[in-house]
Amino acid sequence: MTITDTDLAAADATGATPPHPLASLSADEFTRIRDIVTAAPDFTETTRFAYVGLDEPHKREVLAWQNGDGPLPDRRARVMLLEMATGRSTDTVVSLASGAFVSTVVLDGSTGQLPILVEEFEAIASIVADDARWVEALTRRGLTVDTVICVPLSAGYYDFPEEVGRRILRVLAFRMDAPHDHPWAHPVDGLSAYVDTATRTVTRLIDATDLPVPETSGNFDDPELQGPPLDTLKPIVITQPEGPSYTVEGENVSWGNWTFQVGFDTREGLVLRQLAWTDAATGASRPVIYRASIDEMLVPYGDPSPVRFWQNYFDTGEYLFGRFTNSLELGCDCVGEIHYFDATMADELGNPTTIRNGICLHEEDFGTLWKHSDMFTGSDEVRRSRRLVISFFTTVGNYDYGFYWYLYLDGTIECEAKLTGILFTSAYPGLSADGADYPYASEVAPGLGGPYHQHLFSARLDMTVDGIANAVDEVDVVRVPVGPGNEHGNAFTKGVTRLTTEGSSGRVADASVARAWHIVNSEKTNAMGRPTGYVLLPQESPTLLADASSSIAKRAEFATKHLFVTAYDPAERYAAGDFVHQNPGGDGITKYIADDASIDGEDIVLWHTFGPTHFPRPEDWPVMPVDYAKFTLKPYGFFDRNPALNVPAPASSHAAPGAAGADAHCAHHAAADPAHPHH
C-alpha cells in the first residue's frame, strides 16, 4: 500500500501516520470516542457503554486503498449505550475524524437487548436479597443471603408477558462455605429468580423442589485435595538461541511465507486479518482469508428441569467474552520465545482499559514436515515441521476457553478451541424408583451433577482465496458399484456439488463420506488448469441437539448446521445477530440467507460451527482437563507443488553440542535396498 496526500491530511496534529483502516482501536481512540459520546445532550450519569468497537469499512474500500485506487477509509467506531435507570438502549456509529454521529438507532427490545453489563451482574445479589420470597426460600433450605452467592445468567427468550421489552437475568444460587471455598461444588438446586435489572425487581420466582445441597469439595487448588505432587516430572526447556523466526511491527506479523494482522475486539476477542502467503519465487502476496474470528459461542444445556430449561448461553453475543481475556504469563500459559500483544478496550464508563499480555504469539516444533527414504536412489531426506501459534484465553464464569490459531509451513491453517475450568453443576437427584439414572446429567461427585450440554463455536471466515471471486464445492467420497469398468469392485471416486446460493448453503458434516468443503477461486487456476483453492476439513460432531421447534433453535439457526455460506456484507458480523440477549429468533444467519443471494464466484463468507457435546465425567471434577475441538483449512491446488520443499534440513542432534558431527544435517544418501517392499 502507499500513503497518499489525502492520507497524510488525515494525520493528527502531531504528524503521526494515520492507523491502518483495520487496526484495533487504541487507548487514545477510546478516549476520543468517550469524549464524543459523553458530550451528547442525552448522555446521563447512569448511561453506560455496553460495547465499543471498530466499525470496519467495507472490504472493497480497504482493498482499493491498499492497491492505491482509493482514499483512506473514514475511521469509525460502533458504540452501544445502555441507560441503566430506564433500560433505553442505542446503537451508534461515530466518526473519529470529524467527531460526528454518523447514525443512531434506538432499540425497543423486540429484536433483542444490548449485551449484559458487568454492573448488572454485580447488582443481582442485592436485588434478590431484598425480595422476601427469595429470602424465605433460602431460609427453608437452612441458608441465608450471606451464605450463598448468586450467579446471574442470560435469560433466553420464552415470551413471558412480564418480560416484554425488559432487561431480564435469571439467577441461580450456590452455597459458599468460606472465602476460598469454590461454590460450584454446592448448587442450591430447585430455586431460581428472574430479575428485571432496570427496575431492580424479581419478576418471577421458581421454587420447584428442595434438593440436598451437595457437600463434596470443589477446591481443586487445595494441596490436601490435590494429593502428593508428581515429582518425577523433569523440566522441559524450550530455547531459540537465535531468537524467533517471526517479525512483528505493531499488529503486523510475518513468519515464513505468511503475513497477517493481529487484532482484538471486545466481543470476539482475538481477530486475524488479511492472512496472505508470499510466493517465494515472485514475491507476490496471495490472499487467503480477509478476516477470521470466533464470532459466536453457544452453550446449550439439555436439562429440562423447571430451573434449568432456559440455560442456553451465547458467551460472545450476550457476555462479550473478549472483555474477560486473561493476562497471560510466561512459563505458565505460554512457553518459549514469546511475543505478547496487549488487549485494549473500553470499560463501561467509556474509559480505555488494557489487559496486559492478552494475546500470545510463539513458534512450536511440530514433528515431521516431510520425509522419504528412497529404495532406488538412496535419498534419505527429512524436514522438521513447526507452526506459528496465535492464542488468547478467556474466562466466562465457570469455564475457561482458549482459542488457538495455527499457521504451518505447508500453508495449512487450523483453529483449535481448548476447554477447561469448572463444570456448571446441579444437585444430582439420584436414581429413580425403578433404579434408572437421571437422564440429563452425570453424577461427577457424590450428590453433584454435571448437566449434559454442548459447546458450539461459530467461526466466521471471510475468505479471499487468491482474490474475492470465490465459490464452495462440497466434495464427498462416492462408492462405485461392481459393473462394467469396475469388475473387481475396488473403485471409488468423488462427487462434487457446487453450492450456488445462500439458501442452499446449510450443510452438515458427514464422516461416512469424508465430506469436505473446497473454497475455490472461480477466476484463477494452477499449473494443471484447475481452480486454486483451500479445503475446509470439519471435525464431525453433533450440531444443536435441541428440538427444531425450540426457542434456542430459532435463536441459533447457525448451530443447526456445520456450514453456511453468505455473500459478503459488512453489516453481517455475527452468526446469531447483533443483539443476542433476549433475541426472539429469526436474526443472524436466518436473516442473512433470506434473500438467497448467489455465492458462486462471489465475495463470500463461511460460517463454520464446531465443538463438542459434553457428557461430564467424574474425571472432569473438580477442574476439567483440557478438551479440544478444531477445524482445518488446507491448501488444495493453491500451490503447484509441495510449498515446503525449500524448508532447510534440520541439524542432527546425534552428537552432543560442540562435539564432532554436531552440525551434521538430517539429509543424506543411504545405500539403495532393492528388496525394500512397495507400500
- Residue 392, H or E segment: strand 379-396
Q: What percent of the chain has pLDDT over 70?
A: 94
- According to the model, what pLDDT value does residue 7 have? 45
- According to the model, what pLDDT value does residue 2 have? 39
Active-site choice (55, 196, 295, 315):
315
Buried/exposed code over 597-627 (b: 16+ C-beta within 10 A; e: otherwise):
bebebbbbbbbbbbbbbbebeeebbbbbeee
Q: Identify the band that residue 16 occupies on the pLDDT scale cut at 50, 70 and 90.
A: low
Which residues are CB-contacts of 403 (< 8 A; sequence separation ≥ 6)? 269, 270, 294, 391, 392, 393, 394, 415, 416, 417, 418
Beta-bridge partner residues of 463: 289
Give the CA distances from residue 160 to residues 163, 204, 582, in Å, rounded to whole numbers and listed in that order: 6, 10, 11
Span 36-44, average pLDDT: 97
The torsion defined by the Cα of 254, 534, 601 and 2, in degrees rounded to 10, comes to: 10
- Cα dihedral 20, 566, 294, 521 sign: negative
Q: Which of 307-321, 334-348, 406-420, 657-671 comes out lowest in average pLDDT?
A: 657-671
Span 491-518, average pLDDT: 98
644-665 confidence digits (pLDDT tens): 999 999 887 654 444 444 445 6
CB 326 within 8 A of CB 333: yes
pLDDT at 12 over 80: no
pTM beyond 0.85: yes
For 28, the 3-state DSSP assignment is helix
For the question of residue 399 being annotated catalytic, the response is yes
Q: Which domains does the chain have, with CATH numbers?
A: 5-103 (3.10.450.40), 118-226 (3.10.450.40), 246-422+456-610+623-635 (2.70.98.20)
Strand pairing report for 258-265 and 492-499 = unpaired
379-382 long-range Cβ contacts below 8 angstroms, 24+ apart: 379/669, 379/670, 380/667, 380/668, 380/669, 380/670, 381/649, 381/666, 381/667, 382/649, 382/650, 382/666, 382/667
The packing angle between helices 132-140 and 118-129, to 10°, is 70
CA distance 171 to 387: 43
Phi and psi at residue 133, in whole multiples of 5°? -65, -40
- According to the model, what pLDDT value does residue 176 have? 97
Give the CA distances from residue 659 to residues 653, 663, 665, in Å, rounded to whole numbers and listed in that order: 10, 9, 14
Which set of grid coordinates corresponds to residue 589? 444467519
Which set of grid coordinates corresponds to residue 608? 463454520
Span 478-482, average pLDDT: 98
CB atoms within 10 A of CB 40: 14
Beta-bridge partner residues of 195: 169, 202
Span 436-449, average pLDDT: 96
DSSP-assigned letter for residue 576: T
CB 265 within 8 A of CB 53: yes
- According to the model, what pLDDT value does residue 655 have? 41
- According to the model, what pLDDT value does residue 661 have? 44
Using only the alpha carbons of the chain, give its radius of gyration.
27
Q: Which amino acid, residue 414?
A: E
Of 317, 320, 313, which is closest to residue 264 (Cα–Cα)? 320
533-555 confidence digits (pLDDT tens): 999 999 989 999 999 999 999 99
Which set of grid coordinates corresponds to residue 65? 486503498
Average pLDDT for the chain:
93
- According to the model, what pLDDT value does residue 514 have? 97
Which residues are CB-contacts of 658 (< 8 A; sequence separation ≥ 6)? none
Give the CA distances from residue 484 to residues 354, 488, 620, in Å, rounded to whole numbers and listed in that order: 69, 10, 55
pLDDT at 678 over 90: no
Active-site choice (399, 408, 568, 636):
399
